[in-house]
Structure 1
Amino acid sequence: MADVPVETAEADVVVVGAGLSGLTAASRLYQRGLSVRVLEADNRVGGRTCDLDVGDGLVTEGGGQWIGARHERVLGLLGELGLSTFGTHTAGDSIYLRRGTRRTFSGAIPPMTLLAKLDFAQAQHRLERMAGQVPAAAPWTATHAVEWDSITLGYWLDEHCHTDESKHLFTLGFTLMYCEDPHRISLLKVLHQIATSGGIEYMFSTEGGAQESRIVGGATRPSTVLAERLGERLVLGSPVTAIEQGSDGVLVRSTRIDVRCRRVVVAMTPADVDRITFAPALPVRRAALQRVWHNGTESKLFAVYRRPFWREQGLDGSAMTDLPVAHYVMDNSPPDGSVGILVTFIGTAGAGPGLTWSDDLLDEPAAREKALVADLVTLFGPEAAHPLQVLEQSWVDEPWIAGCVSTRAPGVLTGYTDAATRPVDRVHWAGTEAAPQFEGYLEGAVRAAERAVDEIVAAAR
């Protein structure tokens, strides 16, 4: 059979990647009067937002999902799209289980021992103080940048947390945030995140913090609405294979369509960009960054029940524990509570005591489901023993996305400085990893898109 000829087209700008950042960039460019084409490798939009069907037209969020009041750009985008948010469920007490002792508490601070509370406070103060010395726009220029980028957050916690309890809570919080063992994350990266994402308390908190709200209809809704508005300007199932720059423009080659354009926005993690061939070749610093880049390995597990029965017990559905699977649990039910959904996060093997996975849990879905239900029974009682279904979104199994939230290993920030954001001639970078603030959040995805659009508009003047 003869090969099917590849379609050809022209546009002012090609956007590679139809996640929230790429689609926001395309929308903003179109609003500025530029013609656009969006090329997406997958057969769906949304990137690292991914809604899972739980039946009866309801979904739960398999990827990024939470929004805080300081996330002004994404809230503004939702307003433009006619979408709304609802508050993460926080009414009731939370559960704190450590070393077999289960206690409930209200407010944001779990019932740690007094010594652990003091230890947590001193470590938080030190981290915040160091973060205040990290320039937001260029963290590699901080006075202690080389020192802080030569060690991991995990090493720092080992050295400066004097109680196992406070160290466990810091490890739990940062592991969830970065989907990675803190012993693999640069301390400088974490300090920069603290400086640009509202501080530790905001980053860790639900009520009044970064996990305060969710999007009605699921976290993929903004992407689907943007995609509907773009119409035929969006091409799905067409992985970009090459980006060829010349003196008069760029040729973007993909499996279904080749597009000639003036500028390109690549809205992918650096690790995923390494699949694309560039001509001329990328600068060594950018190419090397893509090779050393690492995305977190965490997945999300959901237990779906007929109703959120824990609310009848006066509980908000959240828990912090040292159990085998359910280290951190939240109520992920729909806004009307028509079904009950509890979510936890798995897959960060080796993160420390209470956060280390046995081989059977890592390799066998049935074992993970059984262990999750057992943990939920420990936390919420016998009613948790019979979920309608257990769902899992595994980001390491995605064909076009190399893991979920990105991190930086020691040496990456000081070794590659601004290579994640600096344009390469006519190629500009988006995706939440290229955000000036709130990197890793939905907010960061929108901010990175708007930054790339501003670069393109400025270049055209």
Structure 2
Amino acid sequence: MKHVEIAIVGAGLSGLAAARYVRSRGVESVLVLEGGPQAGGRARMPRAAGPDGAATGRMFVGHADRAVLELAEEFDLAVEDVDPGQTLDDLRVDEAGFSAVSTLNVPAHVSWWTRLRNEWVLARLVRLAAGLDLAEPWRSARAEELDAQTVRTWLRSHSTDPGVLELVEEQLTFEAGLPADRISMLWLLAHIGPVLRDDREPLRLDPAELLDRMAACAAVRTGCHVADVGQEADRVRLSGPWGSLTADRVILAVSPADAQRVAFSPPLPASRRRMQRQWPQAEIIRTEIVYWRPFWRNFGLSGEAVFEDGIPAWTFDDSPADASYGRLVAHTYTFGEADPLGADQSVIEAPARHRGILLDNLQRTFGPLAADPVAFVQSPAGPDTYSRAFQSPTPPGFLTEYGPLLRRSCGRIHWAATETAAFPANGALEGAVASGLRAAGEVLDARSATEAS
């Protein structure tokens, strides 16, 4: 039976970052096992083809995302500035299809008082977030109090203006992917961090290209679903339909929800098992729509629009810097139309109907050219087998109960994945890389301690 020093389950960004780090520290006996047909995990999104037939697709990163940007620099990966080079208008589209110019989803016709109250509430959130321990928010001074209430409860205790409440809830839904009545106040504050918005335009890179270059430097076996993990006195046995191997230590670089699909022997602690069973996630239908050109810019429009009927909830322009083709990304939320920006549930299970309504709304908003895309790719509403949604907005009580378990090793088993990262990078590409580096460091420390004993 094959034996390696370190086995890594999951060839997403966190698993590949962990493999790269331990190899850079002189450990050559490292193997990455990936259940899917190719490395990449959740960062390898479904991609539409551009007019030239080549796959398109970029992801945004912030200027503060140093771990990702350093990897991009190491691999000589292009990082673009997102700047259309002109002042363009955002739109808000009501239930009747009427479009109005907006700024940060605040319609131009909204009263100055509502604008002021909106900014006051958001500023209050930022001030509260500044007092948190972002690495371990459950240890913060007010953690129990904040985690005991939903975001909606908090908002209604700080404003009675229905216009303000609607606008703020929508902005927070964009951040979380779930409505405010399902999210813990503690999670939201940790997620947004002490700075709600970076006034600088974000950067953009191709995650698939980064993943391919990282995977080429690692020993990766695809199509190897790990079904069983058994800990023995001095090693860990991993097995699945592909066979078995043993390792001195293992890093599970998968989401807690995916870890629930693995059988552990001996069983994981009961609290860890409960956390994995109850792990929340925001699921959306993410759609890429490609056109010959970003034609909306010719009409002074940015491509960013919020749709009150929820199909889609919002769109944004993700065209390349040279505007060689146009690309809109649309998000449809699947939590139901009873909450702001939620979609009609009958549409969620009908991809063709979803496409028709979405394109019709885009046509009414951006003009007739929007009805005739070159390519249209929509992800399923449900989670993919090996690529579950990375955004995990937790309900009240979850973080204070389970937060301390996220990174706690279980014997020779260590945990990575973006869900285990410090906030506010938790759930983002930066968090995936950081979590892989942290888990790799833990394994190396444990290895050194064993050798010294």
TM-score by length of 1: 0.89
Are 2:99 and 1:102 aligned? yes
Tell me if 1:92 matches 2:91.
no
Q: Which AA in structure 2 matches 1:364? A: A
Q: 1:153 to 1:306 in 2, by over 3 A?
A: same
Quick one: which of 8, 11, 17 aligns to 2:10?
A: 17
**1:455–1:228 distance in 2 versus 1, CA, 3 Å:** same
Distance 1:106 1:129 in 2: 22
Structure 1 residue 51 displacement after superposition: 4.2
| Aligned residues with identical type, % of pairs | 30
Distance 1:53 1:289, change over 3 A: same
* Contact 1:263/1:426 (8 A) holds in 2: yes
The superposition leaves residues 340-392 of structure 1 with CA deviations (integer Å, 9 ceiling, x where unpaired) of: 11111013323755412223321211111111112112221222222233210
**Structure 2 equivalent of residue 371 of structure 1:** 357
Structure 2 residue aligned with 1:4: none
Which deviates more, 158-167 or 341-350?
Answer: 158-167
Residue 38 of structure 2 corresponds to residue 44 of structure 1? yes
Label 1:285 to 1:189 Cα distance change in 2 as closer, same or farther (>3 A).
Answer: same
Residues 249, 260 of structure 1: 8 Å contact kept: yes
In the alignment, what sits opposite 2:252? 266
1:16 positional shift: 0.5
CA shift for structure 1 position 79: 0.9
Q: Could you tell me which of 415, 422, 427 is aligned with 1:440?
A: 427
My pick for the range that moved more, 233-242 or 331-340, is 331-340
Residue 230 of structure 2 is aligned to residue 193 of structure 1: no
Q: Tell me which amino acid in the other structure corresponds to 1:71.
A: D
Taking a change above 3 Å as real, the CA distance of residues 58 and 214 of structure 1, as seen in their structure-2 partners, is farther
- Whether the 8 Å CA contact 2:33–2:222 is kept in 1: the answer is yes
Deviations 1:179-221 (A, max 9, x none): 22232221111112233xx52123xxxx616xx1221xx3222
Which residue of the other structure, out of 207, 217, 222, is the alignment partner of 2:210? 222
Match for residue 78 of structure 1? 72
Q: What letter corresponds to residue 58 of structure 1 in structure 2?
A: A
Q: Structure 2: where are the runs of 5+ without partners?
A: 449-453
Q: Output the amino acid matched with 2:257.
A: A
- How do 1:94-173 residues align onto structure 2 when only pairs under 5 Å count? 94-99=89-94, 101-104=98-101, 111=108, 112-173=110-171
| Mapped contact 2:282–2:391 kept (Cα < 8 A) | yes
> Cα gap change, 1:443/1:280 in structure 2, threshold over 3 Å: closer, same or farther?
same
Q: Is the 8 A contact 2:7 2:250 kept in 1?
A: yes
Report the secondary structure of 1:376's partner residue.
helix
Q: How many residues align?
A: 440
Partner residue of 1:33?
Answer: 26
RMSD: 2.2
1:452 aligns with 2:436: no
TM-score scaled by length of structure 2: 0.91
| Aligned mates of 1:185, 1:16 — CA distance in 2 | 30
SS of 2:267 mapped into structure 1: coil
Q: Is the 8 A contact 1:395 1:403 kept in 2?
A: no
SS of match in other structure, 2:41: coil
Give the Cα–Cα distance (whole angstroms) in 1 for the partners of residues 104 and 392 of structure 2.
Answer: 30
Task: Determine if the alignment matches structure 1 residue 359 to structure 2 residue 352.
Answer: no
CA distance 1:47–1:395, change in 2 (3 Å): farther
In the TM superposition, residue 402 of structure 1 has moved relative to its aligned partner by: 3.5
Partner of 2:172: 174
Unaligned runs of 5+ in 1: 1-7
Q: CA deviation at 1:400?
A: 2.4
Matched residue of 1:160: which SS?
coil
